[in-house]
Structure 1
Amino acid sequence: MKEIAVEPGGVRVLHKTLDILETIKATESGYRLADLSRKVDLPKATVYRILATLEGRGYLDRTSDGSYRMAKKLFDLQRTEPLEQILNRVARPLMERLAAASKETVNLGILDAGEVVVINTVESPQAVRMSSKIGNRRLLHSTALGKVLLAGKPDKEVQRLIRMKGTPRLTGQTLTTKAAVLAEVQKVRQQGWALDNQENELEGRCIGAPIMGPDGSVAAALSISGPVFRMDMSRARALVPELKAICEEISRGVRG
């Protein structure tokens, strides 16, 4: 078993914690408990307690396969500029470009307390449009932004988030069962974008795609929304490549 040399005045558990963090940081895919225990040469029970504490405090994320990865909060510690501020700064000009090209409303949203909160918006120049305001909150299960944010989380976290606000019916199109929402989340993961087909608001259709943060996880979501008479399914699908390209450009800017 590895013997950790502790400098005078040092704290043994902090050395163990830093060994674990430095090991996880060295890989993008993360480590499972057993693999990490072998890598740092520490008992599995010790490693588990440290991982559970770091995850509980938001410094590590656990993926659907049980691997632990660095979380956004840990990267935020070394930033002089908060991630939300970086997102707004990087995304705004690209959102304006996307809104001008699509002539529809573009929204930037993040996950907060089990809901989507809009942190930036560029409204369509057209008289009839889908309107939004910064600070607006929306449910996860009924919106393209929300589905994208759910798709970026492990299945257990998805279920926890769904339980927080439930799946109330907002229109006749809303997905209202856990099974239906989970199936939709899996579809979003596979295709890389989400659709709100009049599920949050009648006569409104919306597509969304993910923006990746510095740690490689979904940090935010970007959407294009418009009235169904103008944004039929064919046009919605045609806008997906441009939306995803803008999201990739924002992701690169956020990573710096």
Structure 2
Amino acid sequence: MALKHESTAPYQSVQHALRVLDLVSRRGTGVTEAELSRETGLPGARLAPLLRMLRREGYVAQLTDAAYVTGDSLNRLAAAHGRDQALRDTLQQTLDRLRDQLGAAIYVSRYIDGEVRVTQCADGPLTPAVHEWVDFRKSAHASAIGKSLLGQLDLNGRRDHLDRHPAARLTSRTITNELVLLNRLDAQPATVPVLDLQEYAVGTVCAAVPLTAGSSAGALGLSLPVEHAHRLREAAETLNREAAPVLLSLTL
């Protein structure tokens, strides 16, 4: 399986964040914002919001003299013992924050060994997760996260998936024609969220954005009950803007 490589805003933000974290990690006694700007080449207008995000997620901390050092989240991820749990905990905190910010259930999905897998979720009494009435592995053609993952594969990868999991009709809105589906996936801009308007389940609308980390396809998604469909596009755009911390956790 090969991935399509297209530049997205979250990916660019993560590349910038990695440069900042590398420099902060190498300067154990701290590095100022001016020094970071000079040595990374990032202008202040781009660096300032990036540092706010890194502080919020616990990747950097600011000393009383305004210098930046590594934060608790980064230190836990750097430790050999318990790294996997630290990653899950850090990622879950980010997903919980997004759930509360957007008022929607939030999901992280990965394409692993040719299958769609939802690896983490943040839901709650007021933001229930979508009912998995059809196995997500068999319904990538209909779900927002599934279409986002398929969109990151090359044509052969998409066809292989659809050969193994034919596009069955789940609702009256489901796309079942393979050629139509492949054309839709090919025309989907990498920077625009994928939407599911009751294609997977009647009564639920969803959105997803790509989380491509190296050779691994991933997606960050949300779901809302259909009575909140008027909020979907705005929530999806916010999800897209806020995807960088999630992608950063998966990249580190």
Q: Same fold (TM over 0.5)?
A: yes
Distance change >3 Å, CA 194–CA 248, structure 1 → 2: same
Are the equivalent residues in 1 in contact too, given 2:3–2:217 (CA < 8 A)? no
Shift in Å, 1:194: 0.8
Give me the whole-angstrom Cα distance separating, in 1, the residues matched to 2:183 and 2:84: 29
Q: Is 1:94 matched with 2:90?
A: no
Match of 1:119 in 2: 119
Are the equivalent residues in 1 in contact too, given 2:210–2:218 (CA < 8 A)? yes
Are the equivalent residues in 1 in contact too, given 2:110–2:216 (CA < 8 A)? no
Per-residue CA deviation, residues 82-133 of structure 1 (Å, 9 max, x unaligned), is 9987863442111101100111111111224544222111114317x44458
Match of 1:195 in 2: 195
Q: Which runs of 5+ in 1 are unaligned?
A: 1-60, 66-79
Are the equivalent residues in 2 in contact too, given 1:149–1:221 (CA < 8 A)? yes
Q: Is 1:242 matched with 2:238?
A: yes
> Which of 204, 229, 233 is equivalent to 2:227?
229
Per-residue CA deviation, residues 196-248 of structure 1 (Å, 9 max, x unaligned), is 110000010000011121x2x4532111101111123xx21111232112322
Give me the whole-angstrom Cα distance separating, in 2, the residues matched to 1:130 and 1:88: 19
Are the equivalent residues in 2 in contact too, given 1:104–1:125 (CA < 8 A)? no
TM-score, reference length from structure 1: 0.60
Q: Which runs of 5+ in 2 are unaligned?
A: 6-79
Match of 2:173 in 1: 173
Give me the whole-angstrom Cα distance separating, in 2, the residues matched to 1:227 and 1:144: 14
Give me the whole-angstrom Cα distance separating, in 1, the residues matched to 2:152 and 2:81: 23
State the AA in 1 paired with 2:92.
R
Shift in Å, 1:191: 4.1
Per-residue CA deviation, residues 139-167 of structure 1 (Å, 9 max, x unaligned), is 21010110111111111111111111100
Are the equivalent residues in 2 in contact too, given 1:167–1:178 (CA < 8 A)? yes
Distance change >3 Å, CA 218–CA 113, structure 1 → 2: closer
Q: Please state whether the residue corresponding to 1:201 is helix, strand or coil.
A: coil
Give me the whole-angstrom Cα distance separating, in 2, the residues matched to 1:132 and 1:87: 26
Are the equivalent residues in 1 in contact too, given 2:193–2:237 (CA < 8 A)? no
State the AA in 1 paired with 2:199.
E
Are the equivalent residues in 1 in contact too, given 2:130–2:204 (CA < 8 A)? no
Distance change >3 Å, CA 83–CA 252, structure 1 → 2: same
TM-score, reference length from structure 2: 0.61
Shift in Å, 1:190: 4.2
State the AA in 1 paired with 2:222.
I
Bigger Cα Rg: 1
